[in-house]
Amino acid sequence: MGVVIKSAEEIAAMREAGRIVAMVLQTLAGVVRPGIKTRELDVACVRELAKHGAESSFLHYHGYPAHICTSVNDEVVHGIPGDRVLREGDIVSIDVGVKFKGFQGDAAITVGVGQISPEARRLIEVTEGALHAGIAAAKQDLRLGEISAAVQQYVEANGFSVVREYTGHGIGREMHEDPQIPNFGDRSEGPVLRRGMTLAIEPMVNAGVWKTRVRDDQWTVVTADGSLSAHFEHTIAVTNGRAEILTLV
């Protein structure tokens, strides 16, 4: 799928999809507590999506078996909700994608389960900060590489590493459109950003090395060294000023 420039009407439709994503994430964050199974987050998502008349973008995507991704501790992304019980001190990344009236929204947050360690708290804060550094760098007429460089710089200045094998992406009628958005690289790289581009920026940040591997379930991405990982994502629209975040309540 090539780069698609959206009209004001199309961005308005994406705002609606994005708002649903944000509301679902807010609900799911409220469900997280020690003792629940990750499946309960998936069930809560199904209930929320039904309320809004929206569909999960993830279910059956390349055979993906759930409505959301729940990635715990050393799991980076694409964790499958199931029987795993969340324990006090865990961190869980929740990734939600919805389709509503033909348009997609995609966002992720990482939350602590009960009391978490200062290191885990700092990883979460740095990852969210990196997302906002990337969004602040997304400006019309500048190159996409500005986003990548801003994220990498922010993360590495804080002593963590950015995952390199997975990227953000363009988004619109399809969940994944061009361009890919690496979370590392040089500011002079990539295509020039144009007004009407809609992008999912999603830093995945590891406390240890950036390398990852995929578990035998063929989905769950984990850090190669077993270190903690966090993930934040927003869908944004490039405008003539500051990028607009579409995945807000």
**Chain positions contacting ligand MF3, by CB under 6 A:** 58, 61-62, 64, 69, 78, 95, 97, 106, 169, 200
And the tokens for 164? 């390199």
Q: How far is the CB of 155 from ligand MF3 (least distance, A)?
A: 18
Contact window for Co ion (CB under 5 A) among 39-47, 86-94, 98-106, 240-248: 98-106
Q: How far is the CB of 118 from ligand MF3 (least distance, A)?
A: 28
The span from the CA of 192 to the CA of 123, in Å, is: 31
Question: Does residue 177 interact with Co ion by CB under 5 A?
Answer: no
The span from the CA of 109 to the CA of 113, in Å, is: 13
* Residue 36 CA from chain centroid, whole number: 22
Contact window for Co ion (CB under 5 A) among 76-84, 191-199, 200-208, 217-225: 200-208
Backbone phi and psi for residue 153, each to the nearest 5 degrees, phi listed first: -60, -45
Backbone phi and psi for residue 244, each to the nearest 5 degrees, phi listed first: -95, 130
And the tokens for 139? 């400006």
Contact window for Co ion (CB under 5 A) among 52-60, 105-113, 132-140, 148-156: 105-113
* Three-state SS annotation for 218-239: CCCEEECCCCCEEECEEEEECC
Q: How far is the CB of 134 from ligand MF3 (least distance, A)?
A: 14
- What mask, x for binding Co ion by CB under 5 A, covers residues 35 to 54? --------------------
Question: Does residue 106 interact with Co ion by CB under 5 A?
Answer: yes
The span from the CA of 249 to the CA of 240, in Å, is: 22
67 binds, among ligand MF3, Co ion, none (CB under 5 to 8 A by kind): none
Is 27:196 a contact under the CB 8 Å cutoff? Answer: no
Positions touching Co ion (CB under 5 A) are: 106, 200
